[in-house]
Amino acid sequence: MAKIDFGGVVEDVVTRDEFPLEKAREVLSDEVVAVLGYGVQGPAQALNMKDNGINVIVGGSPERKRSWEKAIKDGWEPGKTLFPLEEAVEKATIIQYLVSDAAQMILWPRIKPRLKEGDALYFSHGFAIVYNDQTGVVPPEFVDVILVAPKGSGRSVRANFLAGSGINSSYAVYQDYTGRAKERTIAVGIAIGSGYLFPTTFQNEVYSDLTGERGVLMGALAGIMEAQYNVLRENGHTPSEAFNETVEELTQSLIRLVGENGMDWMYANCSTTAQRGALDWRHRFREAVLPVFEEVYHSVVSGEETRIVLEANSAPNYKEKLEAELREMRESEMWRAGAAVRALRPENWRIANGK
């Protein structure tokens, strides 16, 4: 492991220098990895491992035609590398349980009886295990229970891999039956294309992940954008101006500078007017949202967010309600303005005009 100083706190991380792909292949040489679920994370992790020379099969439900046909389109062959869920579990030694959180609860009675002694049950989210009082996902004692959680969407996991980089991942061991659980975990983490791996626990992973999704990564970001856009519009600014000042400049310019060099560097490379205003107002925003984040974290830890998720995602009309909520967002003035702005980006204009 490499010791890295994260802002004064030294942590152990695993990089490809000390655990290269060749070593991962050696550790996994006698394993068959079954990726259950071909929705969000499944395709990326399965294809990355396949491209890295790992023995991978995919498990799905033939009746779920969309994901089954997507797997076939991606090159997985029914009866050879693509199987119904139960058959895939029986053939594998490492079972990646990558269906949705609600589906993990629903499918568990079909998966658990087919686990064999010495198998590794792999997750990319600690949800089902940490909240097993609600999900009922309690693994048998004779398997390893491990986790690798990429810090990005499946689309990013695949895109970064194809670009020759990687995406950072956390890893954890919940149950070590074989004595090889950690080695298996890190090997799979490298095989799916992780840039580096940092240790966590199932509990810490799910607490931080659920908080982040509801907060900065998605919920808070969308809410703050909507608030600023609405204030600008109410004060006479055009949709184009409001969207560009709220979203376009952030996503197309400033956030890239933050990602490359940090927030202080971005501040240092903006106008002095922007610097002064940002430095002053960030304290006000932090103080304003801190109670909301504390409320979010408490709701996560208490299991209330889990109850909400399982209840909503298990409802028979879940997809219809989800589409209605997304349609409301998509058809709002702000995001209709966004679609128009994106179409006017130079690269899109050139494509549309054959340039």
Active site residues: 125
**Token representation of residue 187:** 């090997």
Task: Give the CA-trace dihedral at 135, 140, 141, 147, to 10 degrees.
Answer: -60
Contact 173, 181 (CB under 8 A): yes
What 8-state DSSP symbol labels residue 143?
S
Which 3 state secondary structure label does DSSP give 321?
helix
Provide DSSP, 160-216: HHHTT--EEEEEEEEE-SSS-HHHHHHHHHHHTTEEEEEE--HHHHHHHHHHHHHTT
What is the rounded distance in angstroms from the CA atom of residue 309 to the CA atom of residue 293? Answer: 18
Cα–Cα distance, 59 to 337 (Å, whole number): 41
